Amino acid sequence: MKEIFEWNRLLMNDLPYSFLLEVLFRCVVMYLVAMLVLKLAGRRGVKQLSVFELVIILTLGSAAGDPLFYQDVGLIPAICVFIIILLLYRGTTFLISRSKKIETWLEGKPIYLIEDGEFSIDNFSKEALAQDEFFTELRLKNITHLGQVDLAILETNGQISIFFYDEKNIKMGLPILPHAFNKTSNSFKNGFQYACKFCGNIQEATNDTTEHVCDRCGKDKWVSAINEKRIT
């Protein structure tokens, strides 16, 4: 029967001290794996935190929690995990401060999602960001159509920065309120302006027609463009 405060079990769980070399190896491998997985998950998956900051939280949380409850987890290996992860963290921040390429790979760089009231379709397609999710972000900022937005930038922390047109410069834009966006126009009427549902491109009909392909993205789904003022 095991007794409390058996120091060899409490500190090392009866393992040889050479096991600490294995702890070092495990920490390095899992640190790199966690960083790679979170990097592949995209910046929206680690919203408000950098990739390596979230790695620190995950790894230290596990290292701190297990020794609190499980008698077969020694204190010294757990303490070593803290020290090793701290050193890896400091090493990562040092590399970031010395190399712009490493900083860009780990933390990314700001991505323009909207420019001049239209989607930056090349940038948007590279990010793991659904159109519905993006529209939700815009509607939460009282935006009703893209013509109110000069720039929308996906920041390195996963947040979206919005820069608005002045009220006098608001242009015709793609409506993003569900009832308006889902009302696809089946025909073009001469003199009216329409917004491409895929890229936000605005085109004015020069004649009545039932089909029209966007000259920017090649899609053929349109809704009536609007130029409402933004209510704040």
Q: Which token pair is 2?
A: 């095991």
Amino acid 174: pLDDT: 96
Helix%, strand%, coil% for the chain, nearest 5: 45, 15, 40
The pTM is what? 0.72
167 versus 4: the higher-pLDDT residue is 167
Q: Which domains are seen in the chain, by residue range?
A: 7-107 (no CATH), 111-224 (3.30.240.20)
Amino acid 1: pLDDT: 47
Residue 92 has pLDDT above 90, yes or no: no
21 versus 35: the higher-pLDDT residue is 21
Averaged pLDDT of the chain: 83
Q: Each residue of 205-219: b (16+ CB within 10 Å) or e?
A: beeeeeebebebbee
d(CA 130, CA 184): 19
SS3 45: helix
The structure tokens 């995209």 sit at 42
Contact 106, 149 (CB under 8 A): no
Q: Which of 181, 185, 182, 144 has its CA nearest to residue 162?
A: 144
pLDDT tens digit string along 125-159? 666 677 888 899 899 999 999 999 999 998 887 78
> 215 CB contacts (<8 Å, ≥6 apart)?
201, 203
d(CA 165, CA 137): 17
